[in-house]
Structure 1
Amino acid sequence: MAQQRVPRTGKVFLDPRGEDRSMRVTWHQEAQVVVLSLWRDNVCAGTFRLPADDVPDLITLLRQGLDEAYAVARERVERLDRPDRPVQAG
């Protein structure tokens, strides 16, 4: 896959499906927007301009989703750590 150049205030996230799919997130101070762009084979397939005023709502949504995912994972681990019945000394 070719190296993708991104502005200094951005980041590239690779899609786990592969096939050179990625999402670029770039902050554009001059326009007060964050641009989310979807790429495939180093070609931009589409963009979304998120106004800076909406960024906190996006962050809150992502944080809530992450918190819920951690809570579910923690519950699974706790279930595995608990035996179904008490261990008897013998």
Structure 2
Amino acid sequence: MPAVRPLPQLGSIFLDARGEDRALRVSWHHESGLVVVSLWRENVCAGSFRLTVDEVPDLIDLLRSGLDRAYDAALGEREDPGDDRADTAPLYGIG
């Protein structure tokens, strides 16, 4: 089994909420114009996805939109706990 390579200068590791030694690793590779998102289980890479630098803003926009909706929903629950309405619009969109 190949050894785990250290993260480049710009990168981070996020631990999975389920535990069990699962993690998401994000690393910038400026020399090749890529951001690599990889899934890890213990010290083994289970899969990776390469985004071009030009695709990263769309991912950031999607994450920001989802976060905004989560905050709005949490705020709405605190303001009116009896409100049964739910925002059923998807967090993703086309166009």
Give me the identity figure in percent: 58
**Match of residue 87 from structure 1:** none
Partner of residue 45, structure 1: 46
Secondary structure, in 3 states, of the residue corresponding to 1:6? coil
Matched with 1:11 is: 12
**What 5-or-longer segments of structure 2 have no aligned partner?**
82-95
Q: Report what 2:58 is aligned to.
A: 57
Question: Structure 2 matches for 1:9-88, cutoff 5 A?
Answer: 9-80=10-81
Q: Give the alignment's TM-score, normalised by structure 2.
A: 0.77
Q: Is the radius of gyration larger for structure 1 or structure 2?
A: 1
Displacement of 1:6 after TM fit? 2.1
1:85 alignment counterpart:
none
**Structure 2: how far apart are the matches of 1:79 and 1:25?**
38
Looking at secondary structure, tell me which structure has more helix per residue: 1
Q: TM-score, normalised by structure 1?
A: 0.81
- Aligned-pair distance for 1:7? 2.0
Number of residue pairs the alignment of both structures matches: 77
Give secondary structure in 2 for the equivalent of 1:69.
helix
Gaps of 5+ in 1: 81-90
How much has 1:79 moved relative to structure 2?
Answer: 1.2
